[in-house]
Amino acid sequence: MKIKFLGPPAWAAVLLLVSVPIFAHHGAASYDTSKMITLKGTITSIQWMNPHATIDIDVSETTGKTQKYTVESVSPLGLSRNGWTKDSLKPGDQITVTGNLSKNGTHILRLKKIVFPDGKEVTLQNGEDYPGQ
């Protein structure tokens, strides 16, 4: 009995079909867009990567305990269009962020506004923030 292998075009089609979900965008569905919160914290790390750059911050709660939050922003390209560079923020900087918390109770914030250490403020708009898109 002979086993017939798929040729390169067939493998390319299979890979394309399998990879389609990878390109899907989750939008704002996982965030509570009905509420905005503001947090002030100290940056512990920054990941300048696609599809969303993230900033990890330590926030001091009223109890005195420190809570870690991950702040998810737009893509690095979107940030650079607002004048950000990889060096705009660094670990140890104090920042204030405003956004929507994750619906699942994790400490993940969808960034809408940031106040930089020098006092400069930047408001971010995502594609899903515009009606009809």
pLDDT, one tens digit per residue, over 88-107 is 999 999 999 999 999 998 99
Residue 13 in domain = no
Asked if residue 10 belongs to a domain, the reply is: no
The identity of residue 89, as a single letter, is L
Q: How many domains does the chain have?
A: 1
Torsion sign, CA atoms 93, 80, 108, 123: positive
Tens digit of each residue's pLDDT (9 = 90 or more) over 39-49: 999 999 999 99
Tokens standing for 13?
A: 């089609």
Structure token digits, residue 64 = 């005195």
**Is the model's pLDDT at 68 over the cut of 80?**
yes
Average pLDDT on 43-60 reads: 95
> Does the structure show a pLDDT above 90 at 19?
no
The verdict on residue 58 lying in a domain is yes
User: Does residue 92 come out as left (phi exceeding 0), alpha (psi in the -120 to 50 range) or beta?
Assistant: left
Has residue 100 been placed in a domain?
A: yes
| Closest C-alpha to 93, from 120, 123, 60, 118 | 118
Q: With respect to residue 24, please indicate whether it lies within any of the assigned structural domains.
A: no
Report if residue 2 sits inside a domain: no
Q: Average model confidence (pLDDT) for the chain? A: 81
The answer to whether residue 64 sits within a structural domain is yes
Residue 94 maps to a domain: yes
Q: Examine the pLDDT at 51 and tell me if it is beyond 70.
A: yes
Global pTM reads 0.73
Which residues span the domain enclosing 89?
A: 30-125
Rounded-to-integer distance, Cα 51 and Cα 89, Å: 19
CATH number of the domain enclosing 100: 2.40.50.140
d(C-alpha 22, C-alpha 27), whole Å: 14
How crowded is residue 66: how many other Cβ atoms within 10 Å of its Cβ? 13
